[in-house]
A and B are shown apart, each in its own frame.
Chain A
Amino acid sequence: MEHSYDLIVVGAGHAGCEAAAAAARMGCRTLLLTIDLDKLAHMSCNPSIGGPAKGHLVREIDALGGLIARVTDRTAIQIRTLNESKGPAVQSLRAQCDKRLYAQVMKEELERIPGLDLRQAMVERIVPPHPQRAVATVPPGNGTGAAWMARADRFTVVTHTGWTYSARALVLTTGTFLRGRAVTGQATWGAGRAGEAPSVALGEDLAALGFPLVRLKTGTPPRVHARSVDFGLTEVQHGSAVPVFFGHYYAQAPDEGLAPSPLASDAPPAPAYHGPPAPVYPHPTLDGWRPQLPCYLVHTTPAFHAIVRENLDRAPLFSGVIEGVGPRYCPSIEDKIVRFADKERHGLFLEPEGWSTHEVYVQGCNTSLPEDVQWAMLRAIPALRNVELMRVGYAIEYDAVATGEVGADLQARRMPGLFLAGQINGTTGYEEAAAQGLMAGINAARFVRGLPAVILRRDQAYIGVLVDDLVTKEIREPYRMFTSRAEHRLLLRGDNADLRLTPLAHELGLVDAARATAVERRREATEALRATLAGHRIYPSATVNTALAAVGIEALSQPMSAAELLARPGVRYDQLRSALAELPAAPGHVADLVEVECKYGGYIARQQREVARMQRMEGRPIPADFDYDTLPGLRNEARQVLQRFRPATIGQAGRLAGINPADIAILLFALERTRASGPLQPRQETA
């Protein structure tokens, strides 16, 4: 029995799965520990992936060789494009997945990764490395009564059965399991997720190790039985009529479980999804599109609102039973009705939880009202007048580690080798968790090898924005990604995630050479097409104008380049090409990118200038052990903020709340002084 690993990942939610997969791909002997092997990457809330900003994270994780996009594409029951008319940088996909199938497919993906071991176990105790082999005892009540020797350079992890594993580095992704407490009405119970036991010992352990913890709250709505819904009284919402996918399948190599890659031949890459048949359920077809399930929209009624108002005194949210801070963008239905009293109705989406279940998720109806109120209020909606609840909605409180405890490499400042990812860092959302898990896995693997950390920049990826926000912003509510958080979002589009990140993924060993080559081919093809279109003059002859009119393009009055014509609103490349046969053929993933760059080139160029302007200060490193105490002239408030957050760069320092330009000037002076008096050991940043 092998008990010794390079890396142990505790928790196999969305963060843990990505962390383990990435580290194993980078060559680490990796152990993934989870309470329940049937609930890998479990979607305890809505089985939905994507949406603005979150969908961007999914594309980026895929570009870096992660799993979430592939598993979503293989298990989606519905997928569609949002924000099509709202700008090129905010378009994104949103998928509704089959909850159980998702966990199953994730398990299959993980099982196929060499060097990755999956074990079911609850972690009770973490024994950090200790220079003097100190004896660590498990708290009483554990039942094993055993004691372990701390090792000088390894973490020891003790499970509920008393089994131990050790590793050079540890990734902790505890989700809502840390001292989780669920609330419905007056009823509260200890819970990790509905129906699962919380990890109390581990939470106490973290506190004992000195980590300051904060209490956060999130919530989930009731689930109802499909046969009790009158679908005739709902608005039907269909998925996309054209095939759309999160993954970059044009660039996938054949050994990744997909159909033979088009790259193996000279044929142009096909955009269609080529997944294997799912083990059960209607499966994705090999060469095209597949059936989808619709979702349904209903609205709350005055009677619904009245029932909620009458029972507010029994609402834990208002009675003080719940102490944790909930996210403002994910309010409970009682919160919405109280805070927006003049709004007559709220939309609720009825979303099937999978192909093979009748359970339906009532999106928009998070609540911790008592069970009888939940039944009564839903039945006040005509389509739900006979509704049967299968699971009751609940709020859940859990521990997260306070801001400032992890650095931009997601490593705990007070314990080298320990990496944190997901809800434990104060975020919410599967995508946010997966993104952190990926980066924690990458950086833990690099730590094991003694290599510098990989830190993505804000102008490089939404993942960079996410991590930077986590180390510079005080978490007051669970953190969710929004497009508005990314100031350089015109550069961080879903359509260029591969161009931005896959070269790095290849360098790190996360994707193979064939995939990196395919991405470079896409880049070259895009640049070639852009150059061709810029150099191709079109003259307003009668022939040309007739051909343009035939495809619905307004006539030319003076000569212009094909690029300028493509820049016109509404003009598509395939349209242009059917009018002007001399233009070269291009696959969709090339033509679409050129189209966006032609149409919005001015805006994009301006944002690039802004990036260049900001990068001068941005990149300047601050040593991890920089001594703020002895810095003369620094205001006390600034000193405290800097000590807590320990920014890795001057750019990060400048974004901290409570830091002004004069503080930055002092810091710059002091950094120069340090450099002059002795060699620095700056925080390493690749990427």
Chain B
Amino acid sequence: MHDDTIAAIATPPGEGGVGVVRVSGPAARAIAARIFRPLRPGPLRPYRLRYGHVVDPESGTTVDEALLALMAAPRSFTREDVVELSCHGGPLPLQTTLTLALAAGARLARPGEFTMRAFLNGRLDLSQAEATLDVIRAQTSAGLALAQAQLGGWLARQVRAIRATLLECLAYLTVVVDFPEDEVAPQDLGPQLFTSLAGVTELLRGAEQGVVYRQGARAAIVGRPNVGKSSLLNALLRADRAIVTPVPGTTRDTLEETASLDGIPVVLVDTAGIHASDDPVERLGIERSRVALATADLALFVLDAGQPVGADDHAIARLAADTPTILVLNKADTAGVEPLSTAAPALDLPRLLATVRTSALTGAGLSELTTAVARALLGGAPMASAEARLVTNPRHRDSLRRADEYLRAARDGWNAGHPADLIAGDLTAALNALGEITGETVGDDLLDVIFSRFCIGK
């Protein structure tokens, strides 16, 4: 039996009516209890479908409605406790649900790992297992072939070059530690660490952007009533000729449409979509905005360019304090426009990325807004190279993230004058993370570098 719990999206990628997130392992029930709120309370029982909502336990936000099935160990596919959450089939709700499961303690399953567990726990017979094995191997080689074809080995080449530099740094630190009595000329690793980190950061940015292109993002359109949120949404959808179908019924109290903005699939959440006339307008607006912002990657904060900034705008600004924000000065076609420069400073928006003047009526400024949204979703950073953006494999991205983190620690440690061995530890971890992309680990190649570069030994 395994002591960790794995999770993955079990249905094929792409749009589908229903998608399944599968969780297997000892913590499966606990994870389900954390991220799933059944409509009617009561303990989960095996082999009974439960209806409810997937919620973010941190914010309490509803992510999607879902059906939950619990298969208790050992009467399950893997002979472990298995929970399956059937959500709506769009990539975003599925991805969000998976992310929540991971945050609640599961680990991302490797390809074929559910089947592997099923076999290891005696659930599959030999012929089934060997068939599965073929699939695993096919996936590996096919995935490799695909990556090679897609990038022409570009990523591997970049990573190898950075590894070679880092390996020399590690060789120096190792010599210093393992051969203290040899005379080794002191080296300043600062420049090499700086350059390598810059390289990894650039690759990571490409990967983050590549993943955004593949998986899309959510943008919440917020603002007071009657500033033109709905017309802006419609204008953005019109500007996008390849109109995407509405995501069916994800959450019921906002209107969501997907548009492709500069090639990125963006779910636009219109908080003004539904009005309940018996609720106080301001309260409703605030509440809607809060909910929409909690799950959004980006806020489009719409102001009426002809109106002074009011108390409601300040209230919305406070809600958007944690969300990257683009300020949209709409109705720029109307007379008496307030100068652009005064609106932004008047509002306290710590994560303001850009301010754009638009007219939903004439279409003016829409392409600027589209560009600004794309830039914001790509991390506000300059666009990574086209090759780098083809790194869309989340596993590669995760490896790059860890490499980036360890390399940053190594650079900081070096700059702070930390002991050589501790910097060597961070460098080794960074090298191993990069090696996950190219299939290399730090081993004898380190000794090869040491003995070819340094004259050491008694």
Contact = CB atoms under 8 A, between A and B. Distances in A.
Interface of A: 46, 51-53, 82-83, 85-90, 94, 327-331, 336, 339-340, 343, 346-347, 349, 363-364, 366, 473, 482-484, 487, 489-490, 600, 603, 607, 616, 632-633, 660-662, 665-666, 668-669, 672-673, 676
Nearest to A347: B183
A328 B178 contact: no
B282 interface: no
Contact of B180 (A83, A339, A340): A83
Interface stretch (B122-130, B312-320, B377-385): B122-130
B106 to A, nearest CB: 15
A476 to B, nearest CB: 9
Interface in B375-425: 419-422, 424-425
B422 A600 contact: yes
Interface of B: 2-4, 116, 119-120, 122, 126, 129-130, 133-134, 136-137, 140, 174, 176-183, 419-422, 424-425, 428, 439, 444, 446-447, 451, 455-458
A482 B181 contact: no
27 contacts: A46-B458, A52-B177, A82-B181, A83-B180, A83-B421, A86-B176, A86-B421, A87-B419, A87-B422, A88-B419, A88-B421, A328-B457, A329-B457, A330-B457, A336-B455, A346-B183, A363-B458, A366-B458, A473-B444, A482-B178, A483-B178, A484-B178, A603-B425, A665-B133, A669-B130, A672-B119, A673-B129
B121 to A, nearest CB: 8
B451 A343 contact: no
A434 to B, nearest CB: 19
Interface majority SS (helix, strand, loop, mixed), chain A? loop
B419 A484 contact: no
Contacts of A603: 422, 425
Given A52-B177, A672-B122, 14 more contacts: A52-B180, A83-B177, A89-B421, A329-B457, A339-B455, A363-B458, A482-B174, A484-B447, A665-B116, A665-B136, A669-B119, A669-B133, A672-B120, A676-B122
A349 B457 CA distance: 12
Contact of A90 (B4, B140, B421, B446): B421
A346 B456 contact: no
A339 B178 CA distance: 20
Contacts of B129: 669, 673
A665 B137 CA distance: 10
Name the 4 nearest CB pairs between A and B, nearest first.
Answer: A87-B421, A87-B419, A340-B455, A328-B451
B180 A86 contact: yes
Contact of B421 (A483, A662, A665): A483
Contact of A331 (B122, B183, B424, B457): B457
A54 to B, nearest CB: 10
A384 to B, nearest CB: 17
B458 A330 contact: yes
Given A329-B451, A483-B421, A668-B116, A87 B177 contact: yes
A366 B174 CA distance: 23
Contacts of A600: 422
B458 A484 contact: no
A423 to B, nearest CB: 17
A483 B451 CA distance: 15
A662 B136 contact: yes
Contacts of B425: 490, 603, 607
Contacts of B428: 487
Contacts of A82: 180-181
A459 B298 CA distance: 45
Contacts of B439: 660
Contacts of A669: 116, 119-120, 129-130, 133
Contacts of A51: 180-181
A633 B127 CA distance: 12
Contacts of A349: 181, 458
Contacts of A340: 455
A666 B133 CA distance: 7
Residue in A46, A346, A487 whose Cβ sees the most chain B Cβ within 10 Å? A487
A343 B444 CA distance: 25
Contacts of B177: 52, 83, 86-87, 90, 483-484
Given A484-B424, A484-B446, A85 B419 contact: yes
B402 to A, nearest CB: 12
A52 B178 contact: yes
A211 to B, nearest CB: 25
Contact of A662 (B2, B120, B137, B456): B137
Nearest to B439: A660
Contacts of A607: 425
A51 B447 CA distance: 18
Residue in B180, B182, B447 whose Cβ sees the most chain A Cβ within 10 Å? B180
Contacts of B3: 616
Contacts of A331: 455, 457
B133 A364 contact: no
A660 B182 CA distance: 37
A417 B298 CA distance: 70
A347 B455 CA distance: 11
A353 to B, nearest CB: 15
A457 to B, nearest CB: 18
Contacts of A46: 458
B179 to A, nearest CB: 8
Contacts of B458: 46, 330, 349, 363-364, 366
A288 to B, nearest CB: 27
Contacts of B174: 482-484
A633 B133 contact: yes
A197 to B, nearest CB: 27
A262 B379 CA distance: 65
Given A665-B116, A669-B129, A86 B455 contact: no
A366 B456 CA distance: 12
A632 B178 contact: no
Contacts of B140: 661-662
Contact of B2 (A52, A89, A483, A616): A616
Contacts of A330: 457-458
A339 B183 CA distance: 16
Given A484-B174, A632-B130, A662-B140, A328 B455 contact: no
Given A484-B177, A676-B122, A329 B456 contact: yes
Contacts of B456: 329
B122 A53 contact: no
Nearest to B171: A484
Nearest to B126: A673
Contacts of B179: 52, 329
Contacts of A339: 455
B305 to A, nearest CB: 48
Contacts of A346: 183, 455
A660 B422 CA distance: 29
Contacts of B4: 616
Given A340-B455, A668-B116, A86 B130 contact: no
Contacts of A473: 444
Contact of B419 (A86, A632, A666): A86
Contacts of B424: 484
Nearest to B110: A661
A80 B93 CA distance: 63
Nearest to A603: B422
Nearest to B424: A484
A483 B179 CA distance: 10
Nearest to A343: B455
A328 B422 contact: no
A95 B420 CA distance: 23
Contact of A86 (B120, B133, B420, B451): B420
Nearest to B423: A87
Nearest to A337: B455
Contacts of B120: 668-669, 672
B447 to A, nearest CB: 7
Contacts of B455: 331, 336, 339-340, 343, 346
